[in-house]
Structure 1
Amino acid sequence: MNPLNPQPQVISTKPKITFSPSKQAVTDFKPYQPVSPPQYHPIQQTDNHRPQPTFKPAYQPPTHPVPPPIKAPQQPTGTRNFTRGNKGSALFNLQNHGPSQPQCTSCYQVIRGPFISAVGKIWCPNHFICANPSCGVSLHEIGFVEENGKLYCEKDFETYFAPKCAKCSHTILGECCYALEKTYHSECFVCAKCKQTIGSGNFHIEDGVPYCERDFNALFSTKCAGCQFPIEAGDKFVEALIEKWHVECFICTKCNLPLSGGFAVKGNKPFCKKHAY
Protein backbone atom coordinates (compact mmCIF):
# COMPACT_ATOMS: atom_id res chain seq x y z
CA MET A 1 0.00 0.00 0.00
CA ASN A 2 1.25 3.38 -0.98
CA PRO A 3 1.11 5.71 2.04
CA LEU A 4 0.79 8.70 -0.25
CA ASN A 5 -2.20 7.32 -2.01
CA PRO A 6 -4.06 5.25 0.45
CA GLN A 7 -7.02 3.26 -0.66
CA PRO A 8 -10.26 3.74 1.11
CA GLN A 9 -11.28 0.98 3.44
CA VAL A 10 -14.84 -0.10 3.69
CA ILE A 11 -15.94 -0.66 7.27
CA SER A 12 -19.25 -2.27 7.95
CA THR A 13 -21.63 -0.22 10.22
CA LYS A 14 -23.83 -3.16 11.10
CA PRO A 15 -23.57 -4.10 14.72
CA LYS A 16 -22.28 -7.40 15.65
CA ILE A 17 -25.03 -9.62 16.63
CA THR A 18 -24.34 -12.21 19.25
CA PHE A 19 -26.94 -14.87 19.94
CA SER A 20 -27.38 -16.40 23.33
CA PRO A 21 -29.85 -18.96 24.62
CA SER A 22 -33.19 -17.36 25.54
CA LYS A 23 -33.95 -16.98 29.22
CA GLN A 24 -37.52 -17.32 30.38
CA ALA A 25 -38.62 -14.37 32.60
CA VAL A 26 -39.99 -15.27 36.00
CA THR A 27 -42.91 -13.14 37.27
CA ASP A 28 -44.58 -13.31 40.77
CA PHE A 29 -48.36 -13.52 40.32
CA LYS A 30 -50.79 -12.12 43.03
CA PRO A 31 -54.53 -12.89 43.24
CA TYR A 32 -56.85 -10.31 41.78
CA GLN A 33 -58.08 -7.75 44.21
CA PRO A 34 -61.27 -5.96 43.07
CA VAL A 35 -61.20 -2.24 43.46
CA SER A 36 -63.94 -0.87 45.74
CA PRO A 37 -66.09 1.81 44.13
CA PRO A 38 -65.76 5.26 45.65
CA GLN A 39 -68.22 6.13 48.42
CA TYR A 40 -70.28 9.25 48.07
CA HIS A 41 -71.73 11.04 51.11
CA PRO A 42 -74.71 13.32 50.54
CA ILE A 43 -74.25 16.87 51.60
CA GLN A 44 -76.35 17.68 54.63
CA GLN A 45 -77.97 21.02 54.20
CA THR A 46 -78.55 22.98 57.35
CA ASP A 47 -80.50 26.12 57.88
CA ASN A 48 -79.14 28.16 60.72
CA HIS A 49 -82.17 30.41 60.72
CA ARG A 50 -84.90 27.74 60.79
CA PRO A 51 -84.15 24.69 62.99
CA GLN A 52 -85.93 21.49 62.16
CA PRO A 53 -88.87 20.93 64.54
CA THR A 54 -88.78 17.94 66.81
CA PHE A 55 -91.91 15.82 66.74
CA LYS A 56 -93.04 14.13 69.93
CA PRO A 57 -95.16 10.98 70.18
CA ALA A 58 -98.89 11.26 70.61
CA TYR A 59 -100.28 11.86 74.09
CA GLN A 60 -100.75 8.79 76.22
CA PRO A 61 -102.88 8.88 79.37
CA PRO A 62 -100.79 8.69 82.54
CA THR A 63 -100.29 5.17 83.84
CA HIS A 64 -100.52 6.38 87.43
CA PRO A 65 -103.54 8.66 87.65
CA VAL A 66 -103.75 11.16 90.45
CA PRO A 67 -105.61 9.51 93.34
CA PRO A 68 -108.96 11.07 94.29
CA PRO A 69 -109.17 13.07 97.51
CA ILE A 70 -110.10 11.29 100.72
CA LYS A 71 -113.70 11.67 101.83
CA ALA A 72 -114.05 12.71 105.47
CA PRO A 73 -117.17 11.31 107.18
CA GLN A 74 -119.04 13.45 109.70
CA GLN A 75 -119.81 10.74 112.22
CA PRO A 76 -117.95 7.72 113.58
CA THR A 77 -118.31 4.45 111.71
CA GLY A 78 -118.10 0.80 112.75
CA THR A 79 -119.27 -0.04 116.27
CA ARG A 80 -119.26 3.58 117.45
CA ASN A 81 -122.90 4.61 117.47
CA PHE A 82 -123.94 6.75 120.43
CA THR A 83 -126.41 9.55 121.01
CA ARG A 84 -125.98 12.18 123.69
CA GLY A 85 -128.87 13.53 125.77
CA ASN A 86 -128.19 16.83 127.52
CA LYS A 87 -129.38 17.62 131.01
CA GLY A 88 -133.11 18.39 130.93
CA SER A 89 -133.67 16.86 127.49
CA ALA A 90 -135.64 13.90 128.94
CA LEU A 91 -139.34 14.75 129.28
CA PHE A 92 -141.49 13.36 132.09
CA ASN A 93 -145.03 12.71 130.83
CA LEU A 94 -147.92 12.11 133.26
CA GLN A 95 -150.12 10.34 130.74
CA ASN A 96 -150.41 9.50 127.10
CA HIS A 97 -152.85 11.54 125.04
CA GLY A 98 -152.45 9.52 121.85
CA PRO A 99 -154.68 6.75 120.53
CA SER A 100 -152.13 3.99 121.34
CA GLN A 101 -150.43 3.04 124.58
CA PRO A 102 -146.63 3.67 124.76
CA GLN A 103 -144.22 0.76 125.14
CA CYS A 104 -141.08 0.82 127.29
CA THR A 105 -137.82 0.51 125.34
CA SER A 106 -136.25 -1.48 128.18
CA CYS A 107 -138.89 -3.97 129.36
CA TYR A 108 -141.11 -3.88 126.23
CA GLN A 109 -144.22 -3.59 128.42
CA VAL A 110 -147.12 -1.24 127.71
CA ILE A 111 -146.95 1.84 129.93
CA ARG A 112 -150.35 2.83 131.39
CA GLY A 113 -149.09 5.62 133.62
CA PRO A 114 -146.36 8.26 133.56
CA PHE A 115 -143.43 7.69 131.21
CA ILE A 116 -140.24 9.42 130.08
CA SER A 117 -139.49 10.29 126.48
CA ALA A 118 -135.95 11.03 125.24
CA VAL A 119 -133.92 10.67 122.03
CA GLY A 120 -137.06 9.55 120.23
CA LYS A 121 -137.83 6.66 122.60
CA ILE A 122 -139.98 5.95 125.65
CA TRP A 123 -139.15 4.38 129.03
CA CYS A 124 -140.83 3.53 132.26
CA PRO A 125 -139.60 6.05 134.88
CA ASN A 126 -137.89 3.31 136.90
CA HIS A 127 -136.17 1.93 133.78
CA PHE A 128 -134.69 5.27 132.66
CA ILE A 129 -131.46 4.64 134.57
CA CYS A 130 -127.74 4.10 133.93
CA ALA A 131 -127.09 0.63 132.50
CA ASN A 132 -123.93 0.20 134.57
CA PRO A 133 -124.93 -2.31 137.29
CA SER A 134 -122.67 -0.64 139.82
CA CYS A 135 -124.31 2.76 139.16
CA GLY A 136 -128.03 2.59 138.27
CA VAL A 137 -128.54 6.35 138.80
CA SER A 138 -131.72 7.94 137.40
CA LEU A 139 -131.03 9.85 134.17
CA HIS A 140 -134.06 12.12 134.33
CA GLU A 141 -132.26 15.18 135.71
CA ILE A 142 -128.75 14.61 134.40
CA GLY A 143 -126.98 14.23 131.08
CA PHE A 144 -126.76 10.79 129.54
CA VAL A 145 -125.49 8.95 126.49
CA GLU A 146 -127.06 6.09 124.57
CA GLU A 147 -124.44 3.55 123.47
CA ASN A 148 -125.55 0.53 121.38
CA GLY A 149 -129.12 0.78 122.67
CA LYS A 150 -128.19 1.20 126.35
CA LEU A 151 -128.23 4.35 128.48
CA TYR A 152 -125.29 5.49 130.60
CA CYS A 153 -124.71 8.51 132.73
CA GLU A 154 -122.04 10.88 131.40
CA LYS A 155 -119.58 9.85 134.12
CA ASP A 156 -119.71 6.14 133.32
CA PHE A 157 -119.76 6.74 129.58
CA GLU A 158 -116.63 8.90 129.84
CA THR A 159 -114.95 6.26 132.00
CA TYR A 160 -115.77 3.14 130.00
CA PHE A 161 -116.92 4.02 126.51
CA ALA A 162 -116.08 7.54 125.39
CA PRO A 163 -113.41 7.74 122.65
CA LYS A 164 -110.40 10.01 122.94
CA CYS A 165 -109.76 12.79 120.48
CA ALA A 166 -106.66 12.02 118.40
CA LYS A 167 -105.64 15.67 118.49
CA CYS A 168 -106.35 17.01 121.97
CA SER A 169 -106.53 13.60 123.75
CA HIS A 170 -109.67 14.69 125.64
CA THR A 171 -112.78 12.57 125.94
CA ILE A 172 -115.40 13.03 123.22
CA LEU A 173 -118.91 13.27 124.64
CA GLY A 174 -120.63 15.16 121.84
CA GLU A 175 -120.44 15.19 118.07
CA CYS A 176 -117.28 13.65 116.69
CA CYS A 177 -115.57 12.99 113.40
CA TYR A 178 -114.06 9.65 112.44
CA ALA A 179 -111.34 9.91 109.80
CA LEU A 180 -108.03 8.19 109.00
CA GLU A 181 -109.03 5.43 111.46
CA LYS A 182 -109.02 7.96 114.30
CA THR A 183 -111.68 9.88 116.21
CA TYR A 184 -111.68 13.66 116.59
CA HIS A 185 -113.82 16.36 118.11
CA SER A 186 -115.52 18.03 115.16
CA GLU A 187 -113.88 21.30 116.15
CA CYS A 188 -110.45 19.60 116.36
CA PHE A 189 -110.46 18.14 112.86
CA VAL A 190 -109.41 21.29 111.01
CA CYS A 191 -107.25 22.28 108.05
CA ALA A 192 -103.61 22.80 109.03
CA LYS A 193 -103.48 25.98 106.91
CA CYS A 194 -106.74 27.91 107.36
CA LYS A 195 -107.77 26.27 110.68
CA GLN A 196 -111.34 25.87 109.42
CA THR A 197 -113.24 22.70 110.31
CA ILE A 198 -113.24 20.20 107.47
CA GLY A 199 -116.55 18.58 108.41
CA SER A 200 -117.88 16.45 105.55
CA GLY A 201 -115.72 18.12 102.90
CA ASN A 202 -112.85 16.61 100.97
CA PHE A 203 -109.36 16.75 102.41
CA HIS A 204 -105.80 15.62 101.72
CA ILE A 205 -103.02 14.44 104.03
CA GLU A 206 -99.52 15.91 103.76
CA ASP A 207 -96.83 14.96 106.30
CA GLY A 208 -99.51 13.40 108.48
CA VAL A 209 -101.72 16.49 108.84
CA PRO A 210 -105.00 17.24 107.02
CA TYR A 211 -105.54 20.09 104.57
CA CYS A 212 -108.79 21.23 103.02
CA GLU A 213 -108.92 20.77 99.25
CA ARG A 214 -108.53 24.48 98.50
CA ASP A 215 -105.39 24.96 100.59
CA PHE A 216 -103.87 21.67 99.49
CA ASN A 217 -104.19 22.67 95.83
CA ALA A 218 -102.68 26.08 96.55
CA LEU A 219 -99.73 24.68 98.52
CA PHE A 220 -98.86 21.30 97.03
CA SER A 221 -100.63 20.58 93.75
CA THR A 222 -99.00 20.93 90.33
CA LYS A 223 -100.17 23.87 88.24
CA CYS A 224 -101.04 23.58 84.57
CA ALA A 225 -98.47 25.27 82.31
CA GLY A 226 -101.32 26.49 80.10
CA CYS A 227 -103.95 27.98 82.43
CA GLN A 228 -101.86 28.17 85.63
CA PHE A 229 -104.69 26.53 87.61
CA PRO A 230 -103.99 23.43 89.72
CA ILE A 231 -104.22 19.98 88.21
CA GLU A 232 -106.67 18.54 90.69
CA ALA A 233 -107.27 14.94 91.66
CA GLY A 234 -108.84 12.98 88.81
CA ASP A 235 -107.87 15.53 86.11
CA LYS A 236 -106.33 14.15 82.92
CA PHE A 237 -103.03 15.80 82.11
CA VAL A 238 -100.15 15.72 79.65
CA GLU A 239 -96.45 15.79 80.48
CA ALA A 240 -94.55 17.71 77.78
CA LEU A 241 -91.73 20.28 77.61
CA ILE A 242 -90.80 19.49 81.24
CA GLU A 243 -94.25 20.77 82.26
CA LYS A 244 -97.69 19.38 83.01
CA TRP A 245 -100.79 20.52 81.14
CA HIS A 246 -104.51 19.88 81.34
CA VAL A 247 -105.44 17.85 78.26
CA GLU A 248 -107.69 20.67 77.09
CA CYS A 249 -104.92 23.24 77.67
CA PHE A 250 -102.28 21.45 75.58
CA ILE A 251 -103.00 23.20 72.27
CA CYS A 252 -101.09 24.60 69.29
CA THR A 253 -99.58 28.01 70.03
CA LYS A 254 -100.65 29.23 66.57
CA CYS A 255 -104.12 27.83 65.87
CA ASN A 256 -105.21 26.77 69.38
CA LEU A 257 -106.25 23.32 68.19
CA PRO A 258 -105.76 20.39 70.58
CA LEU A 259 -102.49 18.52 70.10
CA SER A 260 -103.99 15.04 70.22
CA GLY A 261 -101.26 13.63 67.95
CA GLY A 262 -97.59 14.50 67.58
CA PHE A 263 -96.43 18.04 68.09
CA ALA A 264 -93.43 20.18 67.22
CA VAL A 265 -91.39 22.42 69.46
CA LYS A 266 -90.31 25.93 68.48
CA GLY A 267 -89.06 28.41 71.00
CA ASN A 268 -89.96 25.93 73.76
CA LYS A 269 -93.63 26.17 72.72
CA PRO A 270 -95.83 23.44 71.25
CA PHE A 271 -97.08 23.64 67.65
CA CYS A 272 -99.11 21.33 65.47
CA LYS A 273 -97.44 19.83 62.40
CA LYS A 274 -99.16 22.32 60.11
CA HIS A 275 -97.64 25.30 61.88
CA ALA A 276 -94.32 23.70 62.75
CA TYR A 277 -92.49 25.54 59.93
Structure 2
Amino acid sequence: MGERYDCTECQESLYGHKYILKEEKPYCIKCYETLFSNTCEVCQKLISCTSKDLSYKDRHWHSDCFLCNKCSRSLVDRPFATKNEALMCIECYSNEYSAKCHACLKNIMPGSKKMEHKGNSWHESCFTCNRCQQPIGTRSFVQKDANNYCLPCYEKQFALQCVHCKKPITTGGVNYHDQPWHKECFVCIGCKQQLAGQRSWGEQIHLFRAAPVAQRLLQLQTVLRVSGWSGFPDVQRRHPVPRLRQGH
Protein backbone atom coordinates (compact mmCIF):
# COMPACT_ATOMS: atom_id res chain seq x y z
CA MET A 1 0.00 0.00 0.00
CA GLY A 2 1.44 3.42 -1.00
CA GLU A 3 2.21 6.32 1.35
CA ARG A 4 -0.84 8.46 2.23
CA TYR A 5 -0.99 12.14 1.28
CA ASP A 6 -3.71 13.78 3.38
CA CYS A 7 -4.94 17.29 4.20
CA THR A 8 -3.11 18.62 7.24
CA GLU A 9 -6.40 19.86 8.77
CA CYS A 10 -9.18 17.36 7.95
CA GLN A 11 -6.98 14.36 7.20
CA GLU A 12 -8.91 13.62 3.99
CA SER A 13 -6.86 12.10 1.20
CA LEU A 14 -5.62 14.61 -1.34
CA TYR A 15 -5.09 12.04 -4.12
CA GLY A 16 -6.99 13.20 -7.20
CA HIS A 17 -7.89 16.55 -5.57
CA LYS A 18 -6.55 20.09 -5.73
CA TYR A 19 -4.62 21.27 -2.71
CA ILE A 20 -2.46 24.16 -1.54
CA LEU A 21 0.86 24.05 0.26
CA LYS A 22 1.35 26.47 3.14
CA GLU A 23 4.64 26.34 4.99
CA GLU A 24 5.25 23.05 3.16
CA LYS A 25 2.07 21.51 4.61
CA PRO A 26 -0.74 20.41 2.24
CA TYR A 27 -4.34 21.61 2.71
CA CYS A 28 -7.47 20.81 0.75
CA ILE A 29 -9.11 23.86 -0.80
CA LYS A 30 -11.99 23.95 1.67
CA CYS A 31 -9.76 23.80 4.75
CA TYR A 32 -7.30 26.29 3.35
CA GLU A 33 -10.01 28.88 2.64
CA THR A 34 -11.55 28.39 6.08
CA LEU A 35 -8.23 28.76 7.84
CA PHE A 36 -6.34 31.30 5.77
CA SER A 37 -8.50 33.17 3.24
CA ASN A 38 -9.22 36.85 3.90
CA THR A 39 -12.68 38.36 4.22
CA CYS A 40 -13.73 41.00 1.67
CA GLU A 41 -14.12 44.48 3.17
CA VAL A 42 -17.28 45.15 1.15
CA CYS A 43 -19.31 41.92 0.89
CA GLN A 44 -17.85 40.25 3.99
CA LYS A 45 -17.43 36.95 2.13
CA LEU A 46 -14.26 34.89 1.98
CA ILE A 47 -11.96 35.63 -0.92
CA SER A 48 -11.51 32.21 -2.48
CA CYS A 49 -8.29 30.76 -3.79
CA THR A 50 -9.53 31.21 -7.34
CA SER A 51 -10.29 34.94 -6.84
CA LYS A 52 -7.87 37.85 -6.89
CA ASP A 53 -7.25 39.22 -3.40
CA LEU A 54 -6.65 43.00 -3.49
CA SER A 55 -5.20 44.43 -0.30
CA TYR A 56 -4.46 47.89 1.11
CA LYS A 57 -3.30 48.58 4.67
CA ASP A 58 -4.35 45.14 5.98
CA ARG A 59 -7.77 45.42 4.32
CA HIS A 60 -8.86 43.06 1.54
CA TRP A 61 -11.33 43.12 -1.36
CA HIS A 62 -12.58 40.94 -4.17
CA SER A 63 -11.57 42.56 -7.45
CA ASP A 64 -15.27 43.07 -8.25
CA CYS A 65 -15.76 44.86 -4.90
CA PHE A 66 -12.76 47.17 -5.23
CA LEU A 67 -14.76 50.24 -6.35
CA CYS A 68 -14.78 54.02 -5.92
CA ASN A 69 -17.06 54.97 -3.05
CA LYS A 70 -18.42 57.92 -5.07
CA CYS A 71 -18.76 56.91 -8.72
CA SER A 72 -18.59 53.09 -8.29
CA ARG A 73 -15.95 52.71 -11.00
CA SER A 74 -13.47 49.88 -10.59
CA LEU A 75 -10.20 50.87 -8.93
CA VAL A 76 -8.31 47.81 -10.20
CA ASP A 77 -5.07 49.05 -11.81
CA ARG A 78 -6.07 52.68 -11.20
CA PRO A 79 -4.67 55.24 -8.73
CA PHE A 80 -6.94 55.95 -5.79
CA ALA A 81 -7.07 57.87 -2.51
CA THR A 82 -8.81 57.32 0.81
CA LYS A 83 -10.92 59.61 3.00
CA ASN A 84 -12.14 58.29 6.35
CA GLU A 85 -11.23 54.79 5.10
CA ALA A 86 -13.47 55.16 2.03
CA LEU A 87 -11.82 54.38 -1.32
CA MET A 88 -12.15 57.01 -4.03
CA CYS A 89 -10.77 57.40 -7.53
CA ILE A 90 -8.43 60.36 -7.94
CA GLU A 91 -10.99 62.38 -9.92
CA CYS A 92 -13.73 62.05 -7.29
CA TYR A 93 -11.33 62.70 -4.44
CA SER A 94 -9.91 65.86 -5.98
CA ASN A 95 -13.37 67.21 -6.85
CA GLU A 96 -14.53 66.58 -3.30
CA TYR A 97 -11.52 67.40 -1.15
CA SER A 98 -8.51 68.78 -3.04
CA ALA A 99 -7.49 72.43 -2.85
CA LYS A 100 -7.79 74.55 -5.98
CA CYS A 101 -4.73 76.28 -7.39
CA HIS A 102 -4.83 80.03 -6.68
CA ALA A 103 -3.36 80.73 -10.14
CA CYS A 104 -5.05 78.36 -12.62
CA LEU A 105 -8.11 77.51 -10.44
CA LYS A 106 -7.74 73.79 -11.23
CA ASN A 107 -7.72 71.03 -8.62
CA ILE A 108 -4.37 70.08 -7.14
CA MET A 109 -4.35 66.32 -7.55
CA PRO A 110 -3.44 64.05 -4.62
CA GLY A 111 0.23 63.11 -4.65
CA SER A 112 1.33 66.17 -6.63
CA LYS A 113 3.48 68.89 -5.08
CA LYS A 114 1.54 71.75 -3.54
CA MET A 115 2.83 75.18 -2.45
CA GLU A 116 0.92 76.96 0.34
CA HIS A 117 1.04 80.51 1.70
CA LYS A 118 -1.47 82.39 3.88
CA GLY A 119 -4.31 79.97 3.19
CA ASN A 120 -3.79 79.82 -0.59
CA SER A 121 -2.45 76.86 -2.57
CA TRP A 122 -0.64 76.58 -5.91
CA HIS A 123 0.58 73.86 -8.23
CA GLU A 124 4.37 73.87 -8.06
CA SER A 125 4.50 74.93 -11.73
CA CYS A 126 2.00 77.77 -11.11
CA PHE A 127 3.86 79.24 -8.14
CA THR A 128 5.90 81.72 -10.18
CA CYS A 129 7.32 85.22 -9.85
CA ASN A 130 4.89 87.81 -11.23
CA ARG A 131 7.77 89.69 -12.90
CA CYS A 132 10.17 87.11 -14.36
CA GLN A 133 7.64 84.23 -14.49
CA GLN A 134 10.24 81.79 -13.14
CA PRO A 135 9.12 79.12 -10.61
CA ILE A 136 9.76 80.30 -7.05
CA GLY A 137 9.91 76.81 -5.53
CA THR A 138 11.43 76.94 -2.05
CA ARG A 139 13.24 80.26 -2.61
CA SER A 140 12.45 83.34 -0.52
CA PHE A 141 9.76 85.58 -1.99
CA VAL A 142 7.68 88.65 -1.19
CA GLN A 143 3.93 88.99 -1.70
CA LYS A 144 2.67 92.41 -2.80
CA ASP A 145 -0.86 93.27 -3.95
CA ALA A 146 -1.72 89.53 -4.05
CA ASN A 147 1.20 88.86 -6.43
CA ASN A 148 4.32 86.86 -5.61
CA TYR A 149 7.82 88.13 -6.45
CA CYS A 150 11.21 86.47 -6.10
CA LEU A 151 13.55 88.68 -4.05
CA PRO A 152 15.70 89.93 -6.97
CA CYS A 153 12.62 91.02 -8.93
CA TYR A 154 10.98 92.60 -5.89
CA GLU A 155 14.10 94.63 -5.17
CA LYS A 156 14.35 95.80 -8.79
CA GLN A 157 10.69 96.81 -8.97
CA PHE A 158 9.77 98.05 -5.50
CA ALA A 159 12.66 98.38 -3.03
CA LEU A 160 14.02 101.86 -2.23
CA GLN A 161 17.70 102.46 -2.97
CA CYS A 162 20.03 103.73 -0.27
CA VAL A 163 21.27 107.23 -1.19
CA HIS A 164 24.71 106.30 0.13
CA CYS A 165 25.54 102.88 -1.36
CA LYS A 166 22.84 102.83 -4.10
CA LYS A 167 21.81 99.28 -3.14
CA PRO A 168 18.21 98.17 -2.42
CA ILE A 169 16.90 98.49 1.14
CA THR A 170 15.23 95.14 1.85
CA THR A 171 14.72 95.34 5.63
CA GLY A 172 14.44 98.28 8.00
CA GLY A 173 16.13 101.43 6.84
CA VAL A 174 16.19 105.11 7.85
CA ASN A 175 14.39 108.05 6.27
CA TYR A 176 16.28 111.35 6.61
CA HIS A 177 15.06 114.49 4.83
CA ASP A 178 12.89 112.25 2.62
CA GLN A 179 15.91 110.22 1.57
CA PRO A 180 16.22 106.47 2.29
CA TRP A 181 19.32 105.00 3.94
CA HIS A 182 20.42 101.59 5.09
CA LYS A 183 20.65 101.61 8.86
CA GLU A 184 24.31 100.62 8.61
CA CYS A 185 25.00 103.38 6.04
CA PHE A 186 23.42 106.13 8.16
CA VAL A 187 26.54 106.89 10.24
CA CYS A 188 28.33 109.90 11.68
CA ILE A 189 30.83 111.22 9.15
CA GLY A 190 33.25 111.88 11.99
CA CYS A 191 33.17 108.88 14.35
CA LYS A 192 31.36 106.41 12.03
CA GLN A 193 28.84 105.39 14.70
CA GLN A 194 25.30 104.63 13.51
CA LEU A 195 22.96 107.59 13.87
CA ALA A 196 19.65 105.70 13.86
CA GLY A 197 17.83 106.59 17.08
CA GLN A 198 20.32 109.38 18.01
CA ARG A 199 20.22 113.17 17.72
CA SER A 200 22.22 114.37 14.74
CA TRP A 201 23.14 117.61 13.00
CA GLY A 202 23.13 117.61 9.24
CA GLU A 203 24.74 119.93 6.72
CA GLN A 204 23.70 118.80 3.24
CA ILE A 205 24.66 115.10 3.37
CA HIS A 206 27.38 115.51 6.03
CA LEU A 207 25.95 114.05 9.24
CA PHE A 208 27.42 114.43 12.72
CA ARG A 209 26.46 113.00 16.07
CA ALA A 210 25.20 115.76 18.39
CA ALA A 211 27.39 114.74 21.34
CA PRO A 212 30.79 114.84 19.54
CA VAL A 213 29.92 118.18 17.89
CA ALA A 214 28.92 119.72 21.22
CA GLN A 215 32.14 118.50 22.83
CA ARG A 216 34.26 119.99 20.01
CA LEU A 217 32.48 123.37 20.32
CA LEU A 218 33.00 123.43 24.08
CA GLN A 219 36.69 122.68 23.57
CA LEU A 220 36.92 125.43 20.95
CA GLN A 221 35.25 128.02 23.22
CA THR A 222 37.66 127.14 26.05
CA VAL A 223 40.70 127.52 23.81
CA LEU A 224 39.50 130.88 22.51
CA ARG A 225 38.83 132.23 26.01
CA VAL A 226 42.25 131.16 27.29
CA SER A 227 44.05 132.68 24.33
CA GLY A 228 42.04 135.90 24.45
CA TRP A 229 40.99 135.39 20.83
CA SER A 230 37.74 137.18 20.12
CA GLY A 231 37.12 135.48 16.80
CA PHE A 232 36.08 137.13 13.58
CA PRO A 233 33.41 139.74 14.44
CA ASP A 234 31.59 139.46 11.13
CA VAL A 235 31.45 135.70 11.36
CA GLN A 236 30.31 135.76 14.99
CA ARG A 237 27.62 138.29 14.20
CA ARG A 238 26.15 136.27 11.36
CA HIS A 239 26.76 132.81 12.83
CA PRO A 240 26.95 133.01 16.64
CA VAL A 241 28.42 129.96 18.38
CA PRO A 242 25.60 128.20 20.24
CA ARG A 243 25.75 128.24 24.02
CA LEU A 244 26.20 124.66 25.10
CA ARG A 245 26.06 123.00 28.46
CA GLN A 246 27.82 119.90 29.63
CA GLY A 247 25.60 116.81 29.67
CA HIS A 248 23.14 117.96 27.03
Deviation at 1:144, TM superposition (A): 1.7
2: CA distance, partners of 1:116 / 1:219: 57
Select 2:67's aligned residue among 129, 144, 155.
129
1: CA distance, partners of 2:66 / 2:113: 23
Deviation at 1:240, TM superposition (A): 1.4
Select 2:81's aligned residue among 138, 145, 148.
145
Change (3 A) 1:187 1:148: farther
**SS of corresponding position for 1:156:** helix
Residue in structure 1 matched with residue 178 of structure 2 by the alignment? 242
Select 1:258's aligned residue among 187, 194, 201.
194
8 A Cα contact 2:124 2:137, kept in partner: yes
Q: Which ranges in structure 2 are unaligned for 5 or more consecutive residues? A: 1-21, 23-35, 218-248
Residue in structure 2 matched with residue 199 of structure 1 by the alignment? 137
1: CA distance, partners of 2:121 / 2:102: 6
**SS of corresponding position for 1:247:** coil
Whichever residue aligns with residue 269 of structure 1, its letter is H
8 A Cα contact 2:55 2:61, kept in partner: no
Residue in structure 1 matched with residue 125 of structure 2 by the alignment? 187
Q: Which ranges in structure 1 are unaligned for 5 or more consecutive residues? A: 1-94, 96-100
8 A Cα contact 1:115 1:122, kept in partner: no
**SS of corresponding position for 1:232:** coil
- Percent of aligned positions that are identical: 25
Deviation at 1:179, TM superposition (A): 2.9
Work out the number of aligned pairs and report it.
169
Higher helix share: 2
Based on CA coordinates, which of the two structures has the bigger radius of gyration? 1
1: CA distance, partners of 2:99 / 2:124: 13
Deviation at 1:264, TM superposition (A): 1.7
2: CA distance, partners of 1:188 / 1:248: 38
Whichever residue aligns with residue 140 of structure 1, its letter is V
Higher relative contact order (CA 8 A, sep 6+): 1
Change (3 A) 1:152 1:194: same
1:209 matches 2:158: no
2: CA distance, partners of 1:247 / 1:155: 54
Deviation at 1:256, TM superposition (A): 1.9
Whichever residue aligns with residue 130 of structure 2, its letter is A
**SS of corresponding position for 1:124:** strand
**SS of corresponding position for 2:91:** helix
Change (3 A) 1:190 1:122: farther
Whichever residue aligns with residue 160 of structure 1, its letter is E
8 A Cα contact 2:95 2:107, kept in partner: no
Show CA shifts across 1:86-124 (max 9, x none): xxxxxxxxx9xxxxx9x99x68x9x9x886566xx3431
1: CA distance, partners of 2:159 / 2:135: 21
Residue in structure 1 matched with residue 108 of structure 2 by the alignment? 172
2: CA distance, partners of 1:229 / 1:148: 54
Change (3 A) 1:203 1:150: farther
8 A Cα contact 1:191 1:210, kept in partner: yes
**SS of corresponding position for 1:230:** coil
